[in-house]
Chains A and B, each alone.
Chain A
């Protein structure tokens, strides 16, 4: 069973413009897939479909299936526990007064009791390397720490598929390294929408190229990203890491 199956997904904005057209792809359990494309391609919009936040009105046939379950009512509660969506701006996602409360939010909504809750939160914070951050205030954290808190919140729900929207955006090099290391250590399936082509090369064996709402290419990362013509045609470029022939 695939972690994620998207079949002929289409979506129009309320004003009628087409955002996604006939998008089809799959992600196996534990697989890490990069989602790249120029601005406005529809990457974020696509991610919002993975846990049912979009479409606003349910389609007759669910185009997205997560671990075999269609992303539609009445399964949305379980879906949202299984799919962890990391938003672009961590400030949008950390809305509770303290780190502990924020990480606990998801499991709380799932109805966990106090003891189980405490264990989950502690484990999640430990996993992301933020042990002892329980009582910290969100606005005291660095951007990298905020991102990790968001991840902890998703892990606390025991998400098995992570959908990440620009996880390394606006991080300094150290923050980026730490986050990348963290993502590498998580054994769950991941869909990473990003402009950070180096990250894609280093972490995602497979990549999907999206442009103007359509999947224009998908396949092994090194092969596609070396194709300069393809990259330039879709507002991207061949990453430096692939420009040198000699091995490191």
Chain B
């Protein structure tokens, strides 16, 4: 996930990358909606959808291994709950359909997020009049995510180098303590950010 945060592929140039963010988002939503609305056994339609996605993936020139890796990352969980659906009279078909649909939707979102910069996504949200509070929250969250993950990493390493017991209880206490301090530092940083925003004329 760290790698995804760094946005390794979003800055490439390809036919897909160059499309307007709005077009990509709209297209992705339309695709996902279409998949969801399809009846369960629409196998031809699923195949068509899959072909379309594969074509777009090829056009985007993102290494297929990277795409596959991201897809695999979340697939086990879709599988897990889809498995529950097997315990039904019509189970196998539902299971297959559920799995196919989620894979297709996932792949679509993976493509979207790999070819679009987050700041562009935010601009699209802004333009379609998503409330500014939500957009600001998303923007700040994305901006400071890496900073906080780094801080958390440093604190965890520091604590690990000071604990000598390997039992679970101390591991839990250590992680909880890291989270607590992370919150405290985030609070303090938020105050400083507010000051920085005011210093440059932010009017509330």
Known A89-B192, A101-B119, A137-B7; contact A77-B197, beta-carbon cutoff 8 A: no
Q: Closest approach, in angstroms, between the C-beta of A48 and any C-beta of chain B?
A: 7
Q: Are A81 and B119 in contact (CB under 8 A)?
A: no
Q: Which residues of chain A are within 8 angstroms of B189 by Cβ–Cβ distance?
A: 91-92
Q: Are B196 and A95 in contact (CB under 8 A)?
A: yes
- What's the Cα separation between A53 and B203 when bound, in Å? 13
- Encoded as 1 (CB less than 8 Å from any B CB) or 0, chain A from 89 to 114 comes to 10111111110010001100110000
Number of B interface residues at 8 Å Cβ cutoff, please give it. 26
Q: Does A12 contact B (CB under 8 A)?
A: no
Q: Closest approach, in angstroms, between the C-beta of B102 and any C-beta of chain A?
A: 30
Q: Does A51 contact B (CB under 8 A)?
A: yes
Q: Are B193 and A97 in contact (CB under 8 A)?
A: no
Q: Are A80 and B195 in contact (CB under 8 A)?
A: no
- Encoded as 1 (CB less than 8 Å from any B CB) or 0, chain A from 123 to 139 comes to 00000000000010111
Residue of B nearest to A50 (CB): B199
Known A91-B147, A97-B119, A97-B142; contact A77-B201, beta-carbon cutoff 8 A: yes
Q: Are B193 and A95 in contact (CB under 8 A)?
A: yes
Q: Which residues of chain B are within 8 angstroms of A51 by Cβ–Cβ distance?
A: 199
Q: Are B119 and A157 in contact (CB under 8 A)?
A: no
- What's the Cα separation between A98 and B139 when bound, in Å? 10
- What's the Cα separation between A91 and B142 when bound, in Å? 13
- What's the Cα separation between A150 and B203 when bound, in Å? 19
Q: A80-B201, A87-B199 are in contact. List 7 more A-B contacts (CB 8 A).
A: A51-B199, A97-B118, A106-B200, A109-B203, A110-B201, A135-B117, A140-B6
Interface residues of A (CB under 8 A from B): 48, 51, 53, 77, 80-81, 85, 87, 89, 91-98, 101, 105-106, 109-110, 135, 137-140, 153-154, 157
28 contacts between A and B (CB under 8 A): A53-B195, A53-B198, A53-B199, A77-B203, A80-B199, A80-B200, A80-B201, A87-B192, A87-B199, A92-B192, A92-B195, A95-B196, A95-B197, A97-B118, A97-B119, A97-B139, A98-B119, A105-B200, A106-B200, A106-B201, A110-B201, A135-B11, A135-B119, A138-B143, A139-B143, A139-B147, A140-B6, A153-B200
| 9 closest A-B pairs by CB | A109-B201, A97-B119, A106-B200, A92-B192, A139-B146, A93-B196, A85-B199, A98-B119, A80-B201
